[in-house]
Amino acid sequence: MVAEIIDGKRIAEEVRADLTSRLGRLVTKGVTPGLAAVLVGDNPASQLYVKMKGKACEEMGMDHWTVTMPKDASETRLLQEIDRLNADPKVHGILVQQPLPSQISTETAVAAVDPRKDVDCFHPENVGLVLIGVPRFAPATPAGVVELLVRSGHDPGGKHVVILGRSNIVGKPLAALLFQKARGANATVTVAHSATRDLAEHTLRADILVAAMGQPEFVRASMVRPGAIVIDVGTSRVPDASKKQGYRTVGDVKFDEVREVAGAITPVPGGVGPMTIAMLLRNTVQAAESTAGAPPG
Ligand code: GUN
């Protein structure tokens, strides 16, 4: 079997197209949704992600700002910047790009963002709301994975989903979304991680396997049940002398090998990445609707 390729770029376009009428209504009311990104340091991958988020806002006709800070910026300086954005009525969504340099506590930074502007859904209050099944925002990458599954015809309802990785950004919130009694959820969820024994024993039982542990090309064909749906959340740069930039971007799945056994698979790039951005845009529109007193829809 050769797997169906799930086209995240095309599906993200669908999500973005669904936003245009909501955006139009806001603009009629004189509100342009605005997203502010805070980038600390000069991590090239983070710089690229923030640039892509800004470009996506521009394409949609939304406002965006990028606040850049040097890699040795103090936590106090970052908190001041976050406070300024919290207080700015033109800023509806704030994201602090991770990873942050070691002198800054990620927990402190995340908790400093006004929960009503927390379009990443990283604030503890918003994480808690997701867990109890009454989300304010959808966590961007996990919601992107769910949307990708549903829109490609692989609804997780009743399926066994095995998630590799327990990060606060992907693994934990994705598990919290998938086991809810809700549309696009109702899955049986296993979360495997670095202390899991006999990993393949778990992965081979997955109807849907989500790789989100940040280990380039970790998932091999021997770990995948024939016909399973494989979602690759990883993005790593590996050295490649044949490329102009000197590297290529790979996921957590050995794509060429796994596509021979999987029923469907997401590529990297062009799978989950564009969905994360689409969900971020959706959350920013939603945040703007809340402040404009418009019903979400
Ligand atoms: N780092 C990796 N993924 C993300 C994300 O979705 N949002 C932010 N802010 N940082 C990240």
Euclidean distance between CA atoms 137 and 48, whole angstroms:
24
- DSSP 8-state symbol, 181: S
**Which atom of ligand 1 is nearest the CA belonging to 95?**
9
User: Candidates 97, 122, 168: which one to mutate for ligand 1, based on the most atoms within 8 Å of Cβ?
Assistant: 97
What pLDDT was estimated at residue 143? 98
**Which atom of ligand 1 is nearest the CA belonging to 46?**
1
Report the alpha-carbon angle 174-175-181, nearest 5: 105
Q: What is the mean pLDDT of each run of 10 residues along the chain (297 residues)?
A: 95 98 97 98 96 98 98 98 98 98 98 98 98 98 98 98 98 98 96 98 98 98 98 96 95 98 98 98 98 65
Residue type, 185: A
> CATH for 30-116, among 3.65.10.10, 3.40.50.10860, 3.40.50.880, 1.20.1250.20?
3.40.50.10860
Q: Do 30-116 and 140-272 come out as alike in CATH topology?
A: yes
Cα 286 to chain centroid distance, Å, stands at 16
* 120 touches ligand 1 (CB under 6 Å): yes
What pLDDT was estimated at residue 1? 76
What pLDDT was estimated at residue 296? 56
pTM of the model: 0.96
Residue 100 phi, psi dihedral angles, 5° rounding: -100, 155
Contact 80, 108 (CB under 8 A): no
Query: Domain 140-272 adopts which CATH fold?
Result: Rossmann fold (3.40.50)
What pLDDT was estimated at residue 295? 55
